[in-house]
Amino acid sequence: MKNKAILIGLISSITLTGCMFQDQGSQVNNKTKEISYHLSTTSEILLTSEAGAKVSPQPSLTFQQGKAQGKVITIRPDIIKQNILGIGTSFTESSAFVLAHLSKEKRAEVMENIYGEKGANFSIARTHIGATDFAVDGKYSYAPVKDDVELSSFSIAVDQDGFKQQDHAGIKDEQFDLLPMIKQAYEIKSKQSDKDLRIVASAWTAPPWMKDIEDYYIKPTAKNNHQGTGGELKPQYRATYADYLIKYLDAYKKEGIDIWGLTPVNEPHGNSGQWESMHFTPKTQSAFIKDHLGPKLKVSAHEKVKLLIYDQNRDEMEHWTDEILADKETAQYVYGTAVHWYESTNKVNEEVFDRVHNKFPEFSIIHTEGTIDDLGKDAPEGILDPIRFKESNWFNNDNFWWNENATDWAYTATWAPKPEEHPIYTPVHRYARNIIVSLDHWLEGWIDWNIVLDSNGGPNHVGNFCGAPIMIDTETGEVYYTPIYHVLAQFSRTIRPGDKALQVETQLAGLDSDALHASAAMSKSNLVSTQLLNTTKAAINFSLQIGDQFVEVSIPANSVQTIQVQL
């Protein structure tokens, strides 16, 4: 179905400096741990830390011969796992709106820092099909005319008509918008050797007239017993909605943008009607793909577009994969599963990834959304700690991002199903832990949500303010690159499309289970990149073992470290 890195049932050997490579499913001879790669020094070490390092090069370290003792992280280049698509972020109307407040020169600088080879050089991205909460005014679609089953009114003009100064004080470029933002990223990529930029597109909802509620969403109120909803597709418009999604692909292709991946809808469980949404169950999404979207894509100009199911929280993904990927009639159209992280502020749910991968190893898992949500919001009823619930002082303050200062929607909530999984957290740790642990458990790509927001975490037309890697004061033009930006940039620059994840084995007796996290990948040129997160307030000394050699490492307190070694 696709070129996976897992070499199941390997019979022949692949040699690199005289050693045998095996897939994880093969029986591993312990002697492979003693392979000699003839290493001398590390190639490059990069550090981002609370102490102030920002993707900063560190002195090289020298390898020693032998088997390390004590705290040891062992990298196994002889056990190759999944293919990696890369690290990325998202294009949203809100991000474009904020960037439209900068001069063209300043905006070009920011965009280069996001997509350029000397910047983060993100290789995978997400965007929205129609309105989302991160749209300036929300409540729009590309087919607004009711019962227009031929979709003759279809237009993506709203993605490129810009923002008028008379309506939005401070706008410096009235032509800049979502589609121009994507085109500028494409232009940056076209001028460099590394041109990778795969875009996943997700609709938050079908046009209202296609849904049973005939509205974008119905908010929860006392009158409806706080049971808001996004509604479901009317049966007679299921085929029309599939046509709508393909019309979007057509329109973007006409503008020079080839969408790489597609999800039928964002968050099919809905959001209780708080903003644009639309519901599917595993059964109804399977039927929609099998009977409508899959066959229509297959005979369209977009046969190669990668269809991803689900697109919501990790803890529920297994139910969806069991229903959809186990159905061969549906699965023939599916590339993989998209997931988010909002089920917990500290758990990664890697055991779910393992189970899903073991059942359906030929299908990808891609993280398509994660952010620091509910930023600075007043606590609703039922929050036991309303003071800590509401964050403050995050703009131009690195200390906020490196320490336990963030909460989310379920923090100390009496009404939340598992409030213990939503403790106060450190934003950098949430990002780095999630990425590192996920990559170590079969994830192929990791995408952040809005790349740019204003200093308040918006605009968001329903007040769902969030953090972003880059935050901009739209009044002064001050651009703040948060520590999240530098962490993502460090990962993106050292985890590239086509890399292969490697087996990592840890022996960290005496450390708390959350103290030190590690993952590793190897490039086509056999450059091994090990990603490390130290969540503690003290340096951690350990040994990095590769084959029959090791290097003694000290990862500074509260930091993200990347160690690259050329085999």
Tell whether 241 is covered by a domain: yes
The answer as to whether 294 is a domain residue is: yes
Which pLDDT score, from 0 to 100, does residue 20 have? 36
Q: Which segments of 177-318 are extended strands (E)? A: 198-203, 261-263, 306-313
Q: Are residues 235 and 335 in the same domain?
A: yes
Cβ contact 516:533 at 8 Å: yes
Which helix (H) or strand (E) is 488 found in, with range?
helix 483-494
CATH value at residue 76: 2.60.40.1180
pLDDT at residue 395, rounded to an integer: 98
- At a CB cut-off of 8 Å and minimum separation 6, what does 170 contact? 101, 474, 475
Directed axis angle between helix 350-359 and helix 317-324, to 10°? 10
Please report, as a single letter, which amino acid is at residue 329. E
pLDDT at 226: 86
- Tokens found for residue 34: 């003693």
**Distance (Å, whole) CA 270 – CA 339:** 14
Query: Residue 64: inside a domain, yes or no?
Result: yes
Same domain, 170 and 201: yes
Q: Do the domain assignments include residue 247?
A: yes
Paired tokens of 513: 């289970």
Helix (H) or strand (E) holding 559: strand 559-566
Q: What is the pLDDT of residues 264-274, one digit of tens each?
A: 999 999 999 99
CB distance 501 to 5 below 8 Å: yes
pLDDT of residue 34: 83
Dist. CA 298–CA 291, nearest whole Å: 12
Query: Is residue 279 left, alpha or beta, with left meaning phi > 0 and alpha meaning psi from -120 to 50?
Result: beta
If asked whether residues 387 and 531 sit together in one domain, one would say no
Query: Model's pTM, two decimal places?
Result: 0.94
Same domain for 71 and 117: no
76 and 132 in a single domain? The answer is no
Both 241 and 333 in one domain: the answer is yes
E strand intervals along 385-499: 445-450, 452-454, 470-472, 479-481
Question: Helix, strand, or coil here: 500?
Answer: strand
Residues 377, 234 share a domain = yes
H helices present in 173-306, as ranges = 178-190, 238-254, 282-288, 294-298
Residue 12 included in any domain = no
- What total number of domains does the chain contain? 2
In a domain, 39, yes or no: no
The domain in which residue 466 lies consists of 87-497
Residues 413 and 552 in one domain: no
Please give the full DSSP string across 26-88, using - where no structure is assigned: SPPPGGGGG------B-SEEEEEETTS-SSEEE---B-EES---SSEEEEEEEEEEEE--EEE
Last residue within a domain, chosen from 497, 524, 539: 497
The answer to the question of residue 142 being in a domain is yes
Task: CATH number of the domain at 173, please.
Answer: 3.20.20.80
Residues 421 and 486 in one domain: yes
Can you list the residues of the chain whose pLDDT is less than 50?
A: 1-29, 32
Q: Do 259 and 408 belong together in one domain? A: yes
Q: Does residue 22 belong to any structural domain of this protein?
A: no
Q: 50 and 191: one domain?
A: no
Is the domain of 69 the same as that of 172?
no
